[in-house]
Structure 1
Amino acid sequence: MKKSIGKFIYFIFGWKLSALGDKTEYGHSVMVAAPHTSNWDFLFALAGFWILELDVRYFIKDNYTKSVVGFLFKWTGALGVNREARNNLVQHTIDLLNEHDQMVILVPAEGTRKKVDKWRKGFYHIAKGANVPISMGFLDYEKKIGGVAGAFWPTDDEEADFQVLQDTYKQYTGKYPENYNEQIY
């Protein structure tokens, strides 16, 4: 049912899906979501995941998952997070990935839809700690294409790994390009 909903959403809005690389590799990964500049990203990213039949989880403020419609957010893969509490989200996510053979943890590395000076690096530490690849999810509003631009295994050269991400994401345009920082490291 989710796959049909995803296809319908992409059809109605005139979007296409592009998935490069091996699904078995990015099907168990930490996926960077960029550029992240609009609330519409949620709809198109989710539809793309459903079309690809990926088991996706994403973090959201826990007041969404505890609300009256919280069951809907959980159905879509939401993991409620209390941002006021001190918790080890990186270790919790590593444990979650280690408990599943196939699961994608979606992380908007910018951490917000607003322009930031640099990306947060939690996704990188999660991927290294769980020994899973980093996959590159994208939405290109200019071309109306969403998907996965491939995956790579993080190395011991963090700067070089972030250069791979920066080079990959240069080709995609967010809904509000002025809110995206191409300099991610």
Structure 2
Amino acid sequence: MISEFIFTKILGWKLVGDFPRHHKKYIVIGAPHTSWKDFPIAILARNTAGIPINFIGKDSLFKPPFGFIFRKLGGAPVDRSKSNNLVDAIVAVFNSREEFRLALSPEGTRERVEKWKTGFYFIAKGANVPIVMFAFDFKNKEIKVAEPYYLTDNMEADFDHFFSFYKDIISAKPEYFNNENLL
């Protein structure tokens, strides 16, 4: 497969762990998201794993001349200028499909943030699906994939679990990743 060749042989990355194949529905949270390089590396890792995972992105990415590429890669545009309930809309998508995996960046941007956005958490809660953590470790050129995590009724404990997975990850731009407090 061409993606695997590019990912492993040309770029020198490796996949540590694997996406769950027996789960038909889950949310993948990809972090730290600090560089434009994260997206193509994530697509190559997904293709190397051979499992369909969709993503959403700001609607401007899906406009001509290159918008068709993002759609072909499994993306769907989101209009962030409108005040709509994106969490409920995505929960409805999960509930209407037999198989759906959605990748999101909990940071919501490539810039440094003090706290993660919580939409992914409430989508997982509403759709009753687990979260699979996905880390961009640029220091070791590894994509690390965790086992599915089922949310508890304690949001703080859940975010502590996420923090423990990401705390030692070195991103493309380490100064942009807040690895001290996610909630």
The CA deviation string for residues 83-135 of structure 1, in whole angstroms up to 9 with x for no partner, is 11112111111111222233221111011111111000000000000010011
1:24 matched residue in structure 2: 22
In 2, the alpha carbon distance for the partners of 1:97 and 1:52 equals: 22
Contact 2:19 2:49 in 1 (8 A): no
> How many angstroms does 1:21 deviate by?
7.0
> How many angstroms does 1:20 deviate by?
4.8
> How many angstroms does 1:59 deviate by?
1.5
Contact 1:31 1:136 in 2 (8 A): yes
- Percent identity, aligned pairs only, is 36
Is 1:70 aligned to residue 95 of structure 2? no
Contact 1:61 1:82 in 2 (8 A): yes
1:56 matched residue in structure 2: 53
In 1, the alpha carbon distance for the partners of 2:145 and 2:67 equals: 27
Is 1:165 aligned to residue 183 of structure 2? no
- Taking structure 1 as the reference length, the TM-score comes to 0.92
- Taking structure 2 as the reference length, the TM-score comes to 0.93
1:12 matched residue in structure 2: 10
Unaligned runs of 5+ in 2: none
Is 1:79 aligned to residue 76 of structure 2? yes
C-alpha RMSD of matched pairs (Å): 1.4
Unaligned runs of 5+ in 1: none
> How many angstroms does 1:152 deviate by?
0.6
In 1, the alpha carbon distance for the partners of 2:148 and 2:76 equals: 23
Q: Which runs of 4+ in 1 moved over 6 A?
A: none
Contact 2:18 2:49 in 1 (8 A): no
